[in-house]
Structure 1
Amino acid sequence: MTEDYVYNSSEWKALSMSFVEYPKGDIFGKLMALLALAPLYIVAALSALALRCRDLHTIFYFVGITLNELLNMFLKYAIQEPRPVARDNYYVQYGMPSSHSQFMLFFTVYTILFLYKRLHTNSLIERAFRAIGVVVCIVLTALVCYGRVYLLYHTVSQVIVGGLIGAFAGLFYFFFIHSILTPYVFPKIVSWRISELLLIRDTSLIPNILFFEYTATRQESRARLRKNMKMQ
């Protein structure tokens, strides 16, 4: 889509239950619009994971994403650079920096660092899953960022600036969590009475939480089975 494209609202169609528009009849544009919803899917998944696991790292990961979004809103209203195309149904008309690119780069940089600094297991399967995770994050981020320009929601410069801010924010926040909160703050938080009541835990020192939960559950199930057999 060229930059001299004339916006005509009658030629654009919004995705159901969203503000994202794409040109009518444009299959690739519809794909870009669907991918633009990726941040919503990620936030929903992290929210569910935080409620399910109640792990401090997951909770603070969600806090970091929220702070990154607040930073983007502040910069948008401070810079007040308009989008390439004005849309009456969009909640913020300012486009610098791109919130989608900032979100996706924050998410991707943080996730990659987490996979290689936190999950330091060396089995072949786990290394393969890490590599697949990295590729998926990078490809998804690239498509979302490209889609913001393709659908005329942002200029190239708005996407680049948003991506750079998100990448640096993700890098800074990961090392803040890894170097300060994990060794000095998390142990204190889990010792609070409120953390015990809410079942909040810290699994930072466990390299593979899925395997740990699997073995712990299996051992407990076997112990309870033996106890029940003795009682019969």
Structure 2
Amino acid sequence: MSANNSLDQTDWKTVGFTHVEYPKGDFIGFILAWSSLFPFFVLSGFVTHIYFRREIHTISFFAGIFLNEGVNLVLKYIVREPRPTSPHTVSNLEYGWPSSHSQFTWFFVTYIIFFIYFRSHSSNSMIELIWKHSMTAVCILTACVVAFSRYYLQYHNFNQVLWGSFFGVVLGTGWFVFTHVILSPFFQTVVTLEICEFLMIRDSTLIPNIMWFEYTTSRQESRTRRKMVSKKVQ
């Protein structure tokens, strides 16, 4: 008996307040169901990061996410391939090719990997190389788990997951190149616009190590203000 046939004969349970279902009592299915929520965690993280950081590069990355989703939606309504027959209690009427979860996750992960190797601060030290390779491994593993979850939980067949992953990698690569070759040279000009100054949108592209820059700047500002307070007290 195949794995899918075994799952057909089990009860399905939703994850919390979501509509993602997994076979009741299946711990692996439970973990994979939670992994299917990865895109929602990413989107909430984007919104939070953009609100607090106001970084134009992050905004551009976020725009790429929406472009990727738009391409996925267009492809689905062109091909109109149905999802596999499944025993889910909550029916999904959306078309299945390509898998949007797989495409979203691989777009995000591909862009992040390129950013790690080509945009993040590099000192060529052994520790930093280990960090980069480790982060890349985590990204790839995460994308594989999310993509596999859609097949395991019978939301998509293997072909839909495979093509969703392929389009995600291609679009993630393309958007990274487009952002850093075409858009980045204009970031400095864009952030000087009145609307960007009003919204406090900034560009940190030319700062090699933004974390170190912000750390040293905040320390210097803190010291300056402490001295000012000390003089007032005296």
Same fold (TM > 0.5): yes
Partner of 1:33: 33
Could you give the per-residue CA deviations for residues 116-175 of structure 1, whole angstroms, max 9, x where no partner exists? 110132144433332222111111111111111111111111011001101000000001
Alpha carbons of 1:31 and 1:55: their partners in 2 closer, same or farther (altered >3 Å)? Answer: same
Residue 70 and residue 92 in structure 1: after superposition, are their counterparts in 2 closer, same or farther (change >3 A)?
Answer: farther
Q: Which amino acid aligns with 2:83?
A: R
1: CA distance, partners of 2:79 / 2:134: 37
> 1:78 is matched with which residue?
78
Secondary structure of the structure 2 residue equivalent to 1:201: coil
**Secondary structure of the structure 1 residue equivalent to 2:98:** coil
| Alpha-carbon separation, structure 1, partners of 2:149 and 2:207 | 38
Shift of residue 6, structure 1, vs aligned partner? 6.7
Q: Determine if the alignment matches structure 1 residue 97 to structure 2 residue 98.
A: yes
- Residue 203 of structure 2 is matched in structure 1 by 202
- Residue matched to 2:121: 120
1:66 matched to which residue of 2? Answer: 66
CA pair 24-88 structure 1, distance change in 2 beyond 3 A: closer
Contact 1:54 1:201 in 2 (8 A): yes
**Which residue number corresponds to residue 172 of structure 1?**
174
Deviations 1:57-113 (A, max 9, x none): 011111111111121111111111111125563454311000111011101110000
The amino acid that maps onto 2:174 is F
Deviation at 1:47, TM superposition (A): 1.2
Query: Could you tell me how far apart the structure 1 residues matched to 2:114 and 2:138 are?
Result: 14
Q: May I ask how many residue pairs the two structures share in their alignment?
A: 230
CA distance in 1, matches of 2:43, 2:127: 27
2:8 is paired with a residue whose SS is coil
Compute the TM-score of the two structures, normalised by the length of structure 1: 0.93
CA RMSD, aligned part only?
1.7
Gaps of 5+ in 1: none
Secondary structure at the aligned position of 1:22 is classed as: strand
Q: Is the 8 A contact 1:72 1:102 kept in 2?
A: yes
Counterpart Cα distance in 1 of 2:201 and 2:166: 33
- Hey, what's the Cα distance between the residues in 1 that align with 2:37 and 2:196? 33
Identity %, equivalent residues:
41
3-state SS of paired residue (1:206): coil
In the other structure, the counterpart of 1:228 is 229
1:129 partner amino acid: W
Q: Secondary structure at the match of 2:224?
A: helix
Q: CA separation of 1:29/1:59 partners in 2, compared to 1, >3 Å: closer, same or farther?
A: same
**AA paired with 2:215?**
Y
8 A contact 1:19–1:90 mirrored in 2:
no
Tell me if the contact between 1:7 and 1:85 (Cα under 8 Å) persists in the aligned partners: no
In the alignment, the residues of structure 2 paired with residue 194 and residue 156 of structure 1 have an alpha-carbon distance, to the nearest angstrom, of: 46
CA shift in 2, pair 1:13/1:88, >3 Å: closer
Please say if 1:16 is aligned against 2:16.
yes
Once the two structures are overlaid, the 10-residue window that deviates more, 38-47 or 118-127, is: 118-127
Is the Cα–Cα contact under 8 Å of residues 50 and 59 in structure 1 kept in the other structure?
yes
Counterpart contact for 2:97–2:160, Cα < 8 Å? yes
SS in 1 for 2:13: strand
- Residue aligning to 1:181: 183
One-letter amino acid of the counterpart of residue 35, structure 1: S
Contact kept in structure 1, 2:107 and 2:168, CA below 8 Å: yes
Whole-angstrom distance in 1 between the partners of 2:93 and 2:205:
38
How far 1:210 moved relative to its partner?
1.2
> Which stretch shifts more, 22-31 or 69-78?
69-78
